[in-house]
Chain A
């Protein structure tokens, strides 16, 4: 059969083919058009980044070029009062750091514990039960968590600590609920890092008589430390950029305070509040939002890059 095919010359085979097959390589323009479209789609992501930097940068430049604002005051000023022309980002930044810290205080220990439990202790059945629950929490829209913060967490805190201590709007309840939001992110990333540690390490430790807990904390966690720190940094970045929970529950109005039970507006919360009102495009208020957004972008970008770098550079490679 194969020999027969070889004997007839290719062109004759084509001409005599009863199916009228043309086996010659055709020049296909459509292939190139498709490839161009695919390439363009790939490049869109680069344009998105450029767009963010250019548009945010341009409006932010307009802000810094205006007589009311200068960069030094923006970075070091302790008051943010746009109607008086005072633009110091510290109150907003401080509130952001406070909600983020509170969120991490909740999410980090809980997330680590959940991850260690899932990866080192839980049976397959329990894991199959707990993981979907974490995924559900991760999928809840943040506006719903904002509702939860203001109508459930805040009354709870006020009942616990007294209504004089805890204001209606406060960074504590926003931070705690944000911690619940970040918990699944941290636990799933840490669990991935823990499960990537090879079994042989665990078995070696068991063989010299370590208990399960000692294996988890002294062998597995140190071996997965790079993944864990990447997860923590990503969690911080997510908390800094989170907007709706703080916009609803943390309070309206910049306030430089260290008291977590006082209202204070974060950077994201300020952007949401100001842009939900009627905003004139020519005003300095409008431009100042872009200055805040640009700062937010660079902070989160730095944290994301750091997290990726930790993963690639400090990963322990076994085998």
Chain B
């Protein structure tokens, strides 16, 4: 048996050996394996780089949410006293007397109208006294790791540089931060206004985009014949999914805020909020984000519907069900876990969107919670953006705390999606 039989087409033996020599199977092998190992390391390193990026991101946010702050007072709280008794021994009614000494009558009336002193808790009275009279101000803040590592040096440094200031270990993400509305004072400000705004906006997104998205998906998968129109709609949806979110913001500004202003400001219902009287409302923001997530919801729902086996539909038709009965009783219940997962994931994308809402006209400063869908709005990402854009140290810490709130809420949403999917799919199949 000659080699030519195993290697048809090359009768010329010398060419075959030359081929072998060219590939250098023998001598080359260790080198090729070494290259393989080196590249394997490179690949591994890039995966690790991705993981490191995420860890550094999370750590740096936690790092900024806690730490020492040098706080200066106009009047030190320990020097506040009434008839020789220090502040923390006073009752609420005595604190009112103290406030009367220090504040203008105007300011006092304002505080009273916000929340009457007779109904305030002792803790609240204390806090009010400190913030109104002492006026604490964070001069410098330090991050968590720095605070832990150099706590002794910091104490000396602050004692020298800011003799009037107290060095306090601040937890920026405290319960007051989550419970209080926005305020111009960075030490008192909170995220509640923004959380409420986000919930309202997302509520509108769900109410609008969820039914419309599923309906569009059902139409495309179950009803439309594979016609020209179907193709156009499908291509169009795929393209819309790739349009930058800020473009949707511009559309929302031109369409919902300006062209449909009577509707979005609530004027045609006679409900318009006296403080806004223009279209920059929660409703506009919600509709804009609904348009933004719609293509993604449709694509996800289509996939879920497509995954329902055809035999189910045919069995239903065989029993004499109409098209809609088939869809409603058989296709949708089986597709709903997939649809819900996709929807919640896209809603969580809307939850974190900032740029379109900035363009639509989020309010920079509102101190009260939204009352209706025609109110002005701010959302958590908007607050983070505004606090990040400020130069003072202390806003960095507040922004970091707000980011943790945002990430926790997003995590909850996504966890809900997973739990919902698992529970529903167990029950239905």
Residues in chain A within 8 A of chain B (CB atoms): 23, 28, 30-31, 34-35, 37-46, 48-49, 51-52, 55-56, 58-59, 109-110, 113-114, 116-118, 121, 130, 133-134, 136-137, 139-148, 150-152, 180, 183-184, 187, 209, 211-214, 217, 234, 237-238, 240-244, 247-248, 268, 271-272, 275-276, 281, 289-290, 293, 296-297, 300-301, 304-305, 308
Q: Residue of B at shortest CB range from A299?
A: B244
Contact in complex: A241, B243 (CB < 8 Å): yes
CA of A151 to CA of B364, assembled, Å: 22
A137 to B219 CA separation, bound complex (whole angstroms): 33
B12: shortest Cβ distance to chain A, in Å? Answer: 21
Q: Which of chain B's residues have a CB closer than 8 A to the CB of A43?
A: 233
* B141 in contact (CB, < 8 A): no
B32 (CB) vs chain A CBs: closest residue: A211
Question: Once bound together, how far apart are the Cα atoms of A5 and B216, in whole Å?
Answer: 42
Interface residues of B in 384-414 (CB under 8 A from A): 384-385, 388-389, 396, 399-400, 403, 406-407, 410, 414
The answer to whether A52 touches B243, judged by C-beta atoms less than 8 angstroms apart, is yes
Known A-B contacts A110-B46, A275-B253; A297 and B324 likewise in contact (beta carbons under 8 Å): no
Contact A49 B239 (CB under 8 A): yes
Looking at the complex, which one of B46, B57, B246, B364 makes contact with A241 (CB distance below 8 Å)? B246
Contact in complex: B219, A39 (CB < 8 Å): yes
Partner of B385 from A137, A234, A244, A268 at Cβ < 8 Å: A244
**1/0 contact string of B230-251 vs chain A (CB within 8 Å):** 0011011111101111111111
Binary interface encoding of chain B residues 37-60 relative to chain A, with 1 for a CB under 8 A from any of its CBs, else 0: 001101111110111011011001
Q: Smallest Cβ distance from A313 to chain B, in angstroms?
A: 14
**CB-based contact B403/A180 at 8 Å:** no
Closest A-B pairs by Cβ, 3 of them: A241-B244, A141-B352, A41-B215
With A141-B406, A248-B385, A300-B244 as known contacts, state yes or no: A38 contacts B218, CB within 8 Å: yes
**A237 touching B216 in the complex, CB below 8 Å, given contacts A45-B298, A55-B254, A110-B49:** no
**Chain B, residue nearest A271 (CB):** B246
Contact status B54-A136, CB under 8 Å? yes
* Contact indicator A48/B254 (Cβ below 8 Å): no
* Known A45-B233, A130-B47, A297-B247; contact A59-B254, beta-carbon cutoff 8 A: yes
In the complex, A141→B358 CA distance in Å? 14
B260 vs chain A, min Cβ distance (A): 11
Are B50 and A242 in contact, CB atoms less than 8 angstroms apart?
no
Asked if B250 and A214 make an inter-chain contact with CB atoms under 8 angstroms apart, the answer reads no
Query: In the assembly, what is the distance between CA of A293 and CA of B254, in Å?
Result: 12
Number of B interface residues at 8 Å Cβ cutoff, please give it: 90
Q: Please name all residues of chain B whose beta carbon is closer than 8 Å to the beta carbon of A241 when the two chains form the complex.
A: 243-247
Among residues of A, the one whose C-beta sits closest to the C-beta of B239 is A304
Given contacts A133-B50, A139-B349, A143-B385, contact A46 B247 (CB under 8 A): no
Q: Does B64 contact A (CB under 8 A)?
A: yes
What are 24 sample pairs from A and B whose C-beta atoms fall under 8 A apart?
A: A35-B219, A35-B324, A45-B298, A55-B259, A56-B251, A109-B46, A117-B46, A136-B54, A144-B57, A150-B388, A151-B396, A211-B33, A214-B32, A237-B242, A238-B244, A241-B245, A242-B244, A243-B246, A243-B354, A244-B381, A248-B385, A268-B244, A268-B246, A308-B239
- Out of A148, A209, A275, name the residue touching B359 (CB < 8 Å): A275
Per a CB cutoff under 8 Å, which of B219, B295, B385 touches A38?
B219
Which of B53, B233, B359, B396 contacts A137 (CB under 8 A)?
B53
- Tell which of A117, A240, A247 touches B355, judged by Cβ atoms closer than 8 Å: A247
User: B389 to chain A: which residues have CB within 8 Å?
Assistant: 248
For residue B372, CB closer than 8 A to chain A, the reply is no
Question: Could you tell me if B54 and A137 are in contact, using CB atoms closer than 8 angstroms?
Answer: yes
Interface centre among A234, A289, A290, A293 (most CB of B within 10 A): A293
Residue of A117, A118, A212, A301 most packed against chain B (CB within 10 A):
A117
Q: How far is the CA of A109 from the CA of B407 in the complex (A)?
A: 28
Q: Report the nearest A residue to B233, measured CB to CB.
A: A42
A134 to B53, CA, bound (A): 10
Q: Please provide the chain B residues from 51 to 89 with a CB less than 8 Å away from any CB of chain A in the complex.
A: 51, 53-54, 56-57, 60-61, 64
B355 to chain A, nearest CB (A): 4
Q: Is the CB of B32 within 8 A of A137?
A: no
Verify B381–A141 contact, CB threshold 8 A.
yes
Residue of B nearest to A26 (CB): B322
Verify B212–A271 contact, CB threshold 8 A. Answer: no
With known contacts A137-B54, A243-B355, A276-B358, A212–B36 Cβ distance under 8 A? yes
Closest residue of chain A to B37 (Cβ to Cβ) is: A213
Interface centre among B220, B254, B295 (most CB of A within 10 A): B254
A139 to B64, CA, bound (A): 21
Q: A146-B385, A152-B60 are known contacts. Are A51 and B255 too (CB-CB below 8 A)? A: yes
0 or 1 for each of B339-362: is its CB under 8 Å from A? (1 = yes): 000000100110111110011011
Cβ-based interface call for B323 (8 A)? yes
- Identify the closest chain B residue to A308 (Cβ): B238
Answer whether residue B224 sits at the interface, using C-beta atoms and an 8 A cutoff: yes
B243 in contact with A244 (CB, 8 Å): no
Q: How far is the CB of A63 from the nearest CB of chain B, in Å?
A: 13
CB-CB under 8 A for A180 and B53, given A300-B244, A304-B239: yes
Partner among A113, A136, A217, A271 whose Cβ is within 8 Å of the Cβ of B250:
A271
Asked if A28 contacts B242 (CB within 8 A), the reply is no
Contact yes or no, A240 B60, CB < 8 A: no
Known interface pairs A41-B215, A146-B385, A183-B50; A275-B236 also in contact (CB < 8 Å) = no
Is the Cβ of B254 less than 8 Å from the Cβ of A243?
no
- State how many angstroms separate the Cβ of B341 from the closest Cβ of chain A: 12
**B contact residues around A209 at 8 Å (CB):** 25
Contacts of B242 in A (CB 8 A): 234, 237-238, 300-301, 304
